[in-house]
Structure 1
Amino acid sequence: MPELQAIELVVFDWDGTLMDSEGRIVASMQAAFTDMGRPPPPSAAVREVIGLGLEEAILRLPGVSSDQDLSEMIARYRHHFLVTNTIPTPLFEGAKALVEALHQRGQLLAVATGKSRKGLDQALDQTGLRPWFHATRCAEETASKPHPGMLHELMDELGVKPADTLMIGDTDYDLLMAQNAGVRALAVGYGTQPPTRLLEHKPLGCASSIALLSEWLLR
């Protein structure tokens, strides 16, 4: 088990860490490209950019040729993800109980995500997790991962030092953001990217399930 002493603030990524939303993200991105008359990107290509801010993610996929195309693609993606797509996006089993248990223990909790503010607010309300988080940041509000901006702003808002902060995520974007911000990181291997890739960035550990993550955080 990793050494997790002296953690004042735990920051969670959202998609792929707390919520199983990969299927809807992939389908919504492919639908947005189809709406624009572009060939939909392969599922693997979309999974590769999950975790980035929406603008940064779309620009890494082939088919966007102008600022107008980018704006329209963002609008189409959000329409599909937030309105028309019905693929379920459940929390991973045990995620809600973990967040609630950490909060009840007095842990400061935050979210740093590539989701839009509207998307995160919808998810927080639908899952009932909003009351347990002390602060949240979305990529559209500051720099996208792996830039450390989201973590810097969260730590400033909550008055916590990097040495007392832990970032938890399922992509190398999360782990690199943590490195860039000077904070410790835990990876989860049940999300978007495989554990072998995550371990290359030397996190404190890589949890294969919410149950193991809970064991590490609540012991």
Structure 2
Amino acid sequence: MSLKLAVWDLDGTVIDSREMIQAAMVFAFEKSGFRTPDFDETRKIVGLSLKTAIEYMLPEADPNAIQRVYEDYKTGFVALRSNPDLKEPLYDGAIELLQDMVADGWLMGVATGKSRQGLSHILQMHDLEKYFDTHWCADDGPGKPHPHMVQKNMDELGCFAEQTVMIGDATFDMQMARAANVHALGVSWGFGKAEELIEAGAHDVHHDFAGLRKGLYAFGDKVTS
């Protein structure tokens, strides 16, 4: 039986973290005395490792300033989690698709720009650990769009590129997938716009979990045929 591996991004793909990430970014920039970014600026860097994202947003800032914003973001993110008005819910349909794919014999991995601490928190908060066979994050080596995390998922689970699909909402996810020579499925409900995902290399972009399910199972049928 042929193996089939789905590698998942989390923020903006499985978990709706848009409000939380923007609030933490505003907190960090304000605390460090920088002009606060609007959501359109923030959404374009989601998927990168945190320090790389801040460097991208503040190209003229010196290393000390970058470090301050980095630390303030981490502090603010933890503090904001205690605000009952700010949540990181699962997208409707996410858990059902994960459950069905595991039951149908898919291997499941994670490639996220989160830190290991942030990844562990979100997996525990939503009881997601049981759905994934392996997971790789920004602390484990080169971040997106470098293919490192996708390659580590494949190496860990003994899969080849032609057996692997990457699912994500950011341009960096699609670029990472293409760099790893795996199938790239974009979703339009997170941080990236459909046209941006296509331009970044997505083979297809889906607009709801019903469409994503069809796309994934079509890929899986092709792999196992």
Give the TM-score normalised by structure 2. 0.89
Aligned to 1:3: none
Corresponding position: 1:24 with 2:15: no
Q: Alpha-carbon deviations, 1:175-213, whole Å to 9, x = none?
A: 110111111111111111111221224433211011221
Instruction: Please state how far the C-alpha of 1:64 moved relative to its aligned partner.
Output: 6.5
Instruction: Please state how far the C-alpha of 1:101 moved relative to its aligned partner.
Output: 1.1
- Mapped to 1, the partners of 2:158 and 2:207 lie a distance apart of 31
Instruction: Please state how far the C-alpha of 1:216 moved relative to its aligned partner.
Output: 2.9
- Mapped to 2, the partners of 1:207 and 1:192 lie a distance apart of 13
Aligned to 1:60: 56
- Mapped to 1, the partners of 2:44 and 2:178 lie a distance apart of 20
- Mapped to 2, the partners of 1:22 and 1:71 lie a distance apart of 23
Aligned to 2:216: 217
- Mapped to 2, the partners of 1:19 and 1:64 lie a distance apart of 32
Aligned to 1:121: 120
1:158-177 to 2 correspondences below 5 Å: 158-177=157-176
Gaps of 5+ in 2: 219-225
Gaps of 5+ in 1: 1-5
Q: Which amino acid aligns with 1:178?
A: A
Q: Alpha-carbon deviations, 1:2-60, whole Å to 9, x = none?
A: xxxx6611001111110110111011011011111222122211111111110110001
Instruction: Please state how far the C-alpha of 1:167 moved relative to its aligned partner.
Output: 0.4
Aligned to 1:88: 87
- Mapped to 1, the partners of 2:42 and 2:200 lie a distance apart of 22
- State which drifts further: 79-88 or 111-120: 79-88
Secondary structure of the residue aligned to 2:6 is strand
State the identity as a percent.
34
- Mapped to 2, the partners of 1:8 and 1:18 lie a distance apart of 19
Aligned to 1:10: 6
- Mapped to 1, the partners of 2:165 and 2:217 lie a distance apart of 14
Do 1:117 and 1:140's aligned partners in 2 also have CA atoms closer than 8 Å? yes
Aligned to 2:68: 72
Cα–Cα, structure 1 residues 99 and 139, in superposed 2: closer, same or farther, change >3 Å?
same
Do 1:41 and 1:62's aligned partners in 2 also have CA atoms closer than 8 Å? no
1:104-183 to 2 correspondences below 5 Å: 104-183=103-182
Q: Which runs of 4+ in 1 moved over 6 A?
A: none
Aligned to 1:103: 102
- Mapped to 2, the partners of 1:71 and 1:126 lie a distance apart of 28
- Mapped to 2, the partners of 1:63 and 1:84 lie a distance apart of 26
Q: Aligned pairs, how many?
A: 214
- What is the alpha-carbon root mean square deviation over aligned residues? 1.7
- Mapped to 1, the partners of 2:16 and 2:54 lie a distance apart of 20
- Mapped to 2, the partners of 1:201 and 1:24 lie a distance apart of 25
